[in-house]
């Protein structure tokens, strides 16, 4: 296939930049995708920081139900 694409070197270059060796779409595939992935990383970082900053207490419940023996509560 690469031999057939040598007639279109610009297209081949763009495809090689947009798709990595494992077949995954790279951030360079489009400016929009790059921005979306950066925003997702920022959101994940924010969520992780909030979770780490929120103390959680696990205590034994007095409920008889086995599915609700432990209760997690924020303090």
For 10-69, how does the pLDDT look when each residue is reduced to its tens digit (9 = 90+)? 888 888 889 999 999 999 899 999 999 999 999 999 999 988 888 777 666 565 566 655
Separation between Cα atoms, residue 20 and residue 41, nearest integer Å? 20
Query: Are the CB atoms for 24 and 43 separated by under 8 Å?
Result: no
pLDDT grade for 9, boundaries at 50, 70 and 90? confident
- Distance from chain centroid for Cα 11: 28
CA nearest 60: which of 48, 72, 43, 45? 72
Query: Are the CB atoms for 70 and 58 separated by under 8 Å?
Result: yes
The structure's pTM equals 0.55
Tokens encoding 56: 């959680």
């Amino acid at each position: 296939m690469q031999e057939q694409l040598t007639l279109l070197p610009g297209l081949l270059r763009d495809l090689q930049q947009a798709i990595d060796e494992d077949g995954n779409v790279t951030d360079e595939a489009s400016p929009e995708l790059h921005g979306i992935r950066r925003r997702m990383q920022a959101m994940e970082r924010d969520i992780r920081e909030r979770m780490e900053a929120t103390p959680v207490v696990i205590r034994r419940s007095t409920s008889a139900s086995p599915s609700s023996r432990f209760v997690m509560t924020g303090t």
